[in-house]
């Protein structure tokens, strides 16, 4: 019996460890199609293959027309949000092997207009984000011509730092049941960022920001379902931020 070389062993291991999954992709072009259609593709995957890798594999080898948005491929830019097996996730941060399913269905995120296939329009989310003034507000010249550092204690930083991790991926708005019924709702992404700046001791714009969110389509519209916080890939807890903002308006927090 002939002995196998190390290279042959390696190669046979690689082949045997390669599995396939059915990637079910939602295709929809609003310019031509009357409705969404699902198309199945068989794709190979390894333990480390992400859903984004699989979608790009399809795009490269099987259907060039699949529309998908991505950039960093490392859960930093917030571009690749989509619904994966029914839940909003980052495609570059979701491994096929972790889904424990022979079929992986990818669809555009809920609560956003579809541009094409897996790509949604995030304009309204960014408009809402701008409305809450997501920057330090101060009357003095320390913003335009700073003369010294803004020192903060670890405790002061702790008040808001997790909210500063938001990458504006929009998964939270997509998971939010209130956003599904009220397109004027500011949404967990914008409200979480309102809290981020209100809680920052360097900021002096609390009253102006609270005035903006004290609205029936602002913090009072949230039903506290908490799904926004469950899906956030960066550990931000917008539902908690919304409760804290209510605390300021109700006089429980200063």
In the complex, the smallest distance separating the C-beta of residue 84 from ligand SF4, rounded to whole angstroms, is: 14
Contacted by 76, from ligand SF4, ligand FES, none: CB < 5 to 8 Å by type: ligand FES
For ligand FES, the closer of residues 167 and 228 by Cβ is: 167
Q: Binding-site residue total for ligand SF4 (CB under 6 A)? A: 13
Picked from ligand FES, ligand SF4, none, the partner binding residue 168 (CB below 5 to 8 A depending on kind) is: ligand SF4
The torsion angle over the Cα atoms of residues 91, 236, 245 and 190, rounded to 10 degrees, is -30
In terms of CB distance, is 66 or 231 closer to ligand SF4? 231
Give the whole-angstrom CA distance, residue 61 versus residue 64.
7
191 vs 185: CA distance, rounded Å: 10
Residues 13-32 that bind ligand SF4 (CB under 6 A): none
104 lies in the binding site for ligand SF4 (CB under 6 A): no
> Closest separation between CB of residue 161 and ligand FES, Å?
20
Phi, psi of 201 (to 5 degrees): -65, -10
The minimum distance between CB 233 and ligand FES, in angstroms, equals 8
Site for ligand FES in 50-109 (CB under 6 A): 70-73, 75-80, 90, 92
Which of residues 23 and 91 has its CB atom nearest to ligand SF4 in the complex? 91
What gap in Å lies between CA 98 and CA 37, rounded to an integer? 26
Q: Which of the residues 127 through 186 are near ligand SF4 (CB under 6 A)?
A: 166-172
Which of residues 79 and 193 has its CB atom nearest to ligand FES in the complex? 79
Angle at 193 between CA 187 and CA 195, to 5 degrees: 105
Instruction: Decide: 170 and 125 in contact? Cβ < 8 Å.
Output: yes
Our CB check for ligand FES shows the closer of 77 and 210 to be: 77
Q: Which of 80, 77, 42 is nearest to 63 (CA)?
A: 42
- From the list ligand SF4, ligand FES, none, partner contacted by residue 192 (C-beta under 5 to 8 A by kind): ligand SF4
**Which pair of tokens denotes residue 8?**
């042959």
Q: Residue 236's binding partner, choosing from ligand SF4, ligand FES, none, with beta-carbon cut-off 5 to 8 A by kind?
A: ligand SF4
Q: Is 207 exposed, middle or buried (0-12, 13-18, 19+ CB in 10 A)?
A: exposed
DSSP E strand stretches across the chain: 19-27, 37-45, 81-84, 87-90, 103-107, 114-116, 119-120
Q: Which residues bind ligand FES (CB under 6 A)?
A: 70-73, 75-80, 90, 92
């Amino acid at each position: 019996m002939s002995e196998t070389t190390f290279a042959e062993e390696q190669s046979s291991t690689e082949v045997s460890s390669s599995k396939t999954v059915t990637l079910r992709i939602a295709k929809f072009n609003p310019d031509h199609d009357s409705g969404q259609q699902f198309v199945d593709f068989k794709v190979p995957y390894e333990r480390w293959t992400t859903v984004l890798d699989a979608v790009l594999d399809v795009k490269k080898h099987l259907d060039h027309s699949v529309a998908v948005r991505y950039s960093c491929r490392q859960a930093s830019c917030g571009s690749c949000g989509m619904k994966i097996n029914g839940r909003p996730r980052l495609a570059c941060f979701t491994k096929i092997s972790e889904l424990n399913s022979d079929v992986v269905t990818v669809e555009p995120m809920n609560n956003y207009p579809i541009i094409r296939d897996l790509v949604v329009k995030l304009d309204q989310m960014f408009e809402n984000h701008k409305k809450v003034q997501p920057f330090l507000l101060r009357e003095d010249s320390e913003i335009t011509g700073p003369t010294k550092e803004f020192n903060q204690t670890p405790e002061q930083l702790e008040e808001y730092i997790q909210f500063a991790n938001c990458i504006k991926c929009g998964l939270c708005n997509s998971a939010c049941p209130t956003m599904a019924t009220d397109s004027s709702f500011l949404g967990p992404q914008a409200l979480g960022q309102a809290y981020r700046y209100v809680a920052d001791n360097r900021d002096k714009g609390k009253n102006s920001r609270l005035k903006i969110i004290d609205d029936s389509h602002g913090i009072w519209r949230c039903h506290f379902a908490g799904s926004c916080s469950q899906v956030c890939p960066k550990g931000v807890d917008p539902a908690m931020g919304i409760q804290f903002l209510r605390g300021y308006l109700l006089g429980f927090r200063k």
